[in-house]
Amino acid sequence: MLTVDVLSSSAIEGEVLSPIEVRSSIARRLHLDIAGMVPITRHVDGVVEMMLGATQHYEQSITAERFYPKISHSV
């Protein structure tokens, strides 16, 4: 279901992601050991991270630190 959500959300923005990369990224982030995992691009991993953050932490307010974690920590 998460794979479909990520692919559909990206498609709305006109972006086509590799379903295999998306599945592998989700599995890695959820600590699932799945055969056939492939290397993941930073872009796909970022999109998956954003989607998982939105679905797993939906009750939290969106702050600059949450929205831009790498930028906020370095400032």
The span from the CA of 2 to the CA of 66, in Å, is: 20
Range of the domain at 13: 2-74
pTM: 0.74
pLDDT by residue for the chain (75 residues), tens digit each?
999 999 999 999 999 999 999 999 999 998 888 777 889 999 999 999 888 888 887 787 877 776 666 654 444
> What per-residue confidence (pLDDT) applies to 5?
94
**What pLDDT score does 72 carry?**
47
Provide the pLDDT for residue 34: 78
Secondary structure of the chain in HEC code, one letter for each residue: CHHHHHHHHHHHCCCCCCHHHHHHHHHHHCCCCCCCCCCCCHHHHHHHHHHHHHHHCCCCCCCHHHHCHHHHHHC
How many structural domains are present in the chain?
Answer: 1
Q: What is the pLDDT of residue 42?
A: 93
